[in-house]
Amino acid sequence: MFAEKLAGRIDGFTLAEEGRRMGLYFYFREIVSEPGTEVVLKGGRRALMLGSNGYMGLTGHPEVKEAAVKALNKYGTGCSGSRFLNGTLDIHIELEETLSDWLGKESSILFSTGFQVNQGVLATLLNRHDVVLMDACDHASIFEGARLSMAKPERFPHNDMEKLETILSEIPREKVKFIVVDGVFSMEGDVCRLPGLAALAERYGAALMVDDAHGLGILGRQGAGTADHFSLTDSVDLIMGTFSKSLASLGGFVAGDRQTVEYLKHHARAFIFSASMPASSSAAALAALKIIRREPERMGALWRNTGMMKEGLNGLGFDTGLSETPIIPVYIDDAYTLMMMCKRLEEEGIFVNPVLPPAVPPKNSLLRVSLMATHTTQQIDFALDVFERVGKELHLI
């Protein structure tokens, strides 16, 4: 057995199977329909989707699908190579230029996934002589990129500007200092303290990068994200984003000054040695971006839905922490109770995501509720009724 060759590392993992036996395993659930506000699970059960990152509700938009189909017919299913060699299409260039214009940066570069962006950028720009400073709640891809870079990692408590300044003040001035944070934190649902971060970066001569995977589409003018929301685009050196959330596709990018992007194009191994985005994914992202920019009412609908859900959950007595975005955590410290809550919600027609350590700190287990612009008032009312009924049943409220 292969597992035996790894001294029990594989066969010692039994947690997933134990969860399945108990009927409390809610990962890799099979969806057999389009991922809209309602989905159909394998077996035919319908559920209200409150676990999607598609904040703008564009994955099923006719224009987005039509753009992807047209690109598929024109370019085929893939490029069969990296951007560095035979995998650069004109639609890649168009998307990069459109992103740069949207975010107010000189240049952009596409990666095949968002994870690869953070991994590739940090591992390329930093080395063992540098210091990378990260919020304790940053995405896992940031920590992976920092590890690969071999820069000295410094984590500061979540959104704690005082502690960050203490750390910065102790680093020699001549050292390269790179601050990287989420714009919107993917589990907590709160926003980074960008004004404080920008001020500290300037004071201590640090570079500043914002991972805006969850901020694009929901913050800023025309959904241009966290930096635009705070009018600090020029103070942020690099803005990273993904297409798998508001932009209804797959892939990632980073935007910044032309010289840095040019360097990344020729040195980032995660970019050079990966196959490029399929044209269909690029076309879908482009179409979604155009819709977001021309239809600001989508952001308005998203924030109305967010307010209704958050106020409703808080009114029922659920703890939603510091959330200030369409990501609304419902904290349930006990893991077994959390999974029971998830089970009962699904049985009542609600799809939500359970989040357990190590994805969150110990005793911070949560149900991750997320809203879309396309949810209706009736759907949110239905969800709140179910949360109230199940919450009382499990003695959570």
Report, as residue numbers or ranges, the catalytic residues: 186, 214, 245
- N- to C-terminal Cα separation, the chain: 48
- What gap in Å lies between CA 390 and CA 397, rounded to an integer? 9
Q: What is the three-class DSSP state of 318?
A: coil
| Cβ-proximal residues to 152 (8 Å cutoff; 6+ apart), any chain | 128, 130, 131, 132
Let me know: does 112 contact 251? Beta carbons within 8 Å: yes
Strands 152-156 and 350-351: unpaired
* Structure tokens belonging to residue 358: 């190590």
Let me know: does 107 contact 261? Beta carbons within 8 Å: yes
Provide the residue type at 301 as one letter.
Answer: A
Q: What is the DSSP string of 229-249?
A: HTT-GGG-SEEEEESSSTTSS
- Residues facing 331 on adjacent strands: 366
Let me know: does 247 contact 212? Beta carbons within 8 Å: no
| CA max distance for the chain | 61
Provide the residue type at 230 as one letter.
Answer: F
